[in-house]
């Protein structure tokens, strides 16, 4: 399934935060959405999920307007991993992941064997099957993030939207998760992930969309979009690139810069 947006605009009161946004996320793509704080990333994600409605423009899943789908129909097509999730009730991890099966269950029916099998498969895929009987409230922030991603996988939606998925993960789990995202894209998922880290996008995304002041600054292959000019325009930082000799590139801030803090 394709997720597409055409000429979206949105405003909070008189303040325009998104203008003329068009994009398409296709099966097999891992697309990174990069932008500085206040660029409109979170608002765009809320629009794509149908949480808020655009002032103008349209969002479609394949040829169906998002606004024409019921919440259940939408959840069978789109899965969402939030940036943060406060834990209030001490649900077991396996029950949190089982919540991802709700779009596939009848209102009166309980969990079926297939539902529980999908939960086990999602936990095993992310390497956290040993957490299944743990209380969600007892987990670290990074472990909770992995559980939320497992919940999205259990949902069996072909389109995944992840809001800064590496938040709270240690260095090792950041890279394990990026590898999982690449693997999910290769298996046919259409993936959009917002990020603050251009180095992660360069390593794990097939395509990158840059947002600046509510507009698309660039949209294309990661290796061409993540360049010195764009990083300077987006973040006000000069960067340097290094080729690792195996087809990969890395970037670091250029030395001896005087960088004022931008709030």
Mean model confidence pLDDT for the chain: 91
Q: Do strands 30-35 and 207-212 pair parallel, antiparallel, or not at all (unpaired)?
A: parallel
- More reliable by pLDDT, 95 or 86: 95
Q: Are 28 and 190 in contact (CB under 8 A)?
A: yes
The segment(s) of the chain belonging to CATH 3.40.50.300 are 1-77+159-218
| Residues 23 and 35: beta-carbon distance below 8 Å | no
> At residue 58, does pLDDT exceed 70?
yes
C-alpha span between 142 and 138 (Å, rounded): 12
**Cβ proximity of 34 and 208 under 8 Å:** yes
pLDDT at 166: 86
pTM: 0.90
Compute the Cα dihedral for 204, 144, 74, 217 and give only its sign. Answer: negative
- 111 pLDDT exceeds 70? yes
Average pLDDT of 189-199? 94
32 pLDDT exceeds 80?
Answer: yes
Alpha-carbon dihedral sign for residues 129, 130, 135, 141: negative
H helices of the chain, in order, are 41-49, 71-75, 93-98, 113-125, 141-154, 171-186, 198-204, 222-225, 228-235
The fold for domain 1-77+159-218 equals: Rossmann fold (3.40.50)
User: Where is pLDDT greater, at 3 or 181?
Assistant: 3
39 compared with 109, residue with greater pLDDT: 39
Q: Give the tens place of pLDDT for each residue, 131-151.
A: 999 999 999 888 888 899 999
């Amino acid at each position: 399934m394709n997720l597409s947006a055409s000429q979206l605009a949105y405003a909070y009161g008189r303040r325009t935060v998104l203008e003329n946004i068009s994009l398409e996320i296709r099966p097999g793509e891992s697309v990174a959405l990069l932008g500085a704080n206040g660029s409109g990333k979170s608002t765009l994600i809320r629009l794509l999920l149908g949480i808020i409605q655009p002032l103008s423009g349209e969002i479609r899943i394949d040829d169906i307007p998002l606004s024409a789908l019921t919440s259940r129909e939408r959840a069978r097509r789109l899965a969402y991993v939030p940036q943060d999730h406060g834990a209030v009730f001490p649900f077991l991890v396996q029950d949190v992941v089982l919540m991802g099966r709700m779009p596939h269950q009848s209102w009166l029916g309980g969990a079926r064997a297939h539902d529980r099998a999908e939960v086990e498969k999602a936990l095993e895929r992310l390497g956290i099957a040993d957490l299944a009987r743990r209380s969600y409230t007892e987990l670290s922030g990074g472990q909770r993030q992995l559980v939320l991603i497992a919940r999205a996988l259990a949902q069996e939606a072909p389109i995944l939207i992840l809001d800064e998925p590496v938040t709270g993960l240690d260095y090792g789990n950041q890279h394990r998760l990026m590898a999982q995202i690449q693997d999910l894209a290769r298996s046919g998922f259409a993936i959009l992930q917002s990020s603050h880290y251009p180095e992660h996008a360069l390593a794990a995304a097939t395509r990158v969309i840059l947002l600046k002041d509510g507009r698309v600054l660039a949209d294309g292959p990661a290796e061409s979009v993540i360049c010195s000019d764009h990083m300077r325009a987006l973040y006000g930082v000069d960067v340097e690139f290094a080729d690792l000799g195996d087809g990969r590139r890395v970037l670091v801030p250029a030395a001896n810069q005087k960088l004022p803090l931008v709030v």
